[in-house]
Amino acid sequence: MVSPQQNDKMIKARLQENLVANSLTKNEVGAARIIQERSTPLVVISSGIESQHDRVWGQKQEDSTKVTDNLIKWSVVNKAPHEVWRTYDGREAMEKGLAKLIAVAKYKY
């Protein structure tokens, strides 16, 4: 059961993301590519539910994978909601992604 407070927080989080997501344009992704060092390792974890529900959001997730030339892993967690860490599979994907980033950092430095 979800408490009213949790529901309010979820609504607020979704509203904030929608405001940011709607303002994130291809030009801004392009600008991020210019600012961000091209070799920076990148891991992206996306909600499969959100990707299926909102094509524009899914496309922006894909665009975010191109911010650097060093995409280590892009995971779409099929049954995960917007807050992917709330599911076991989402947490596991995040842990694996973080482990890959750490491995790359250890190897590089």
- Give residue-wise pLDDT tens across range 68-109: 899 999 999 999 998 899 999 999 999 999 999 999 988 776
pLDDT for residue 63 = 87
**CA–CA gap between residue 99 and residue 107 (Å, rounded):** 12
Mean pLDDT (the chain, rounded): 81
Q: What is residue 72's three-state secondary structure?
A: strand
Q: What is residue 2's three-state secondary structure?
A: coil
pLDDT for residue 106 = 83
Residue range 11-15: average pLDDT?
65
Indicate the pTM of the whole model: 0.70
Please report, rounded to a whole number, the percentage of residues in the chain having pLDDT higher than 70: 69
Nearest to 44 by CA among 87, 94, 2, 80: 94
pLDDT for residue 95 = 95
**Is residue 30 scored above 90 in pLDDT?**
no
pLDDT for residue 14 = 64
pLDDT for residue 66 = 87
**Is residue 35 scored above 90 in pLDDT?**
no
